[in-house]
Amino acid sequence: MKSVLVVVLMASIPLAANAEVHRHGGGPDALPYEKYVRVVSEADSPLQQVYVKSKDGTYVATAIRRPRGEGPFPAIIIFHGAPGGRGMEQISGWSLGATGGPVWERFLQEGFVVAVGDYRGGDWDTANVPSTGNGATAIDDGLAVIDYVEKLPYVDASRVNLYGVSLGGNLVSFLISRKPTIHAAVLGAPAPIWFLGMKRPEGAERPDLSAMKPDPEVASANVAPIQTPVLILVGTEDRLESMARTLHDELARAGKSVRLDVYEHGYHDFVLGPQGQDRPDLERGEVLLQGALDALELTVSFVKGVPPVSP
């Protein structure tokens, strides 16, 4: 699938040389997903169900699969979209390819330890920002999962990567801001509302996300510590497309290593393919698009192409 490199030049947002925007074509047809899932035997890669202790003593469900061999292996930790608190059964099903999503097993095939991390739900405006004092939020849950995975004896701690989708993209944005040693980060259809300091209109059940603007001070403070290379993926049929572009531009303005890839016909969360979710916003429900497969191969290449993090 060919892509077009779009050079973005705006006087108000000078982009760094290492910031790129690519636009991809692709059809709207639903592809059969069966041949892309359950491709890694549980005998070769048994599921490990772990409960990781977070800052306040809450235990966070984490499903882990590893390649055959002793390692050390690179790892990727995948954080799902809203809501938080999906539980062990849901994340285990994703890890095993039970819903038709190809991402998790694709990384197993490439020799990665794949961890699917949960995180707590709760009030949106308090659960999705860093905690203060003794309290804990989803950010603390993510940090705890990273710490657990990094210490596994078969994981190469210099090559721990993060992949956050939708609300998980907000989480991963905060995580790489607080942990700059993360090897690479992928943000699929990210919803970095709180990371960028955006405010949701009072009483709006479904606000116009394209009209929400970042808070310059909040965004700048959160972006400044980031050292991790970032890949952002979004579809043209996703109402969060403008938010993904805003995040890209904020990172680019600060001179961070970032690229944005936009896929025709991609709906919100299209990058993961079928997740077994009820999606009344989609006429056909969750389908596997060619764009999702193309984005997955790009993701694998991106993560594998980043040099290991120096100790």
Strands 155-165, 258-263: pairing kind: unpaired
The mean pLDDT value of the chain amounts to: 90
Cβ neighbours for 81, distance < 8 A, ≥ 6 positions apart: 165, 166, 167, 168, 169, 189, 191, 269
Question: Is the model's pLDDT at 201 over the cut of 90?
Answer: no
Contact 257, 223 (CB under 8 A): no
Report H helices in the chain.
88-95, 103-109, 124-127, 138-150, 167-178, 216-223, 241-253, 290-305
The residue whose two tokens read 């980060």 is 185
195 backbone dihedrals φ, ψ, rounded to 5° = -60, -35
Helix (H, G, I), strand (E, B) or coil at 17: coil
Residue 89 pLDDT more than 50? yes
Question: Best-predicted range by mean pLDDT among 29-33, 49-53, 100-104?
Answer: 49-53
Q: Kindly state the average pLDDT of the residues 32-51.
A: 93
Mind listing the pLDDT tens digit for each residue in 264-279?
A: 999 999 999 989 888 9
CB atoms within 10 A of CB 34: 11
Within 10 Å of residue 68's Cβ, how many Cβ atoms?
Answer: 12
Question: What domains does the chain contain, in order, with CATH numbers?
Answer: 3-200+208-305 (3.40.50.1820)
pLDDT in tens, 152-192: 999 999 999 999 999 999 999 999 999 999 999 999 999 99
